[in-house]
Amino acid sequence: MLHHLLDQYPYYLSTILLALGLWGMFAKHNLMKKLIGMNIFQVSIILLFISSAAKFGGTVPTFDPTIGAADPALYANPLPHVLMLTAIVVMVATTGVALAFLLIIYRRYHTLDEQEILRRMREP
């Protein structure tokens, strides 16, 4: 049981983060908090990918003459890292766009509370 947990704790951790992020996005009223929830949600997926790449006893995935290329289990898997570098760039851009919108909204409504903004939008 304990061994199982030690083996797989990154997966449980990222699941908890995923749920936390989703809860933040849908339960919070403040738009900034929703955005923070979105970031937590994204980070949990990055963690999931990265932890899938780790190998016990594996090393940096550059060719090392003393280890050789015969046994791929001796190197960590580089592909998820590369994918996540791209995903991080995408997520930074998403956050940037969202922050820009929050700024516009705050300048117009002087609040970031979603209920309050929706109430004011309904006014003619």
Long-range contacts of 67-75 (CB under 8 A, 24+ apart): none
Report the residue number, 11 or 67, with the smaller CB distance to other proteins.
11
Report the residue number, 43 or 74, with the smaller CB distance to other proteins.
43
In angstroms, the CA 119 to CA 98 distance is: 21
Q: Which of 60, 57, 61, 46 is nearest to 10 (CA)?
A: 46
Q: Where are the beta strands (DSSP E) in 41-88?
A: none
Q: Confirm or reject binding of residue 73 to other proteins (CB under 8 A).
A: no
Rule CB under 8 A: which residues touch other proteins? Answer: 22, 25, 31, 34-35, 38, 41-42, 45, 48-49, 52, 79-80, 83, 86-87, 90, 93-94, 97-98, 101-102, 104-105, 108-109, 117-118, 121
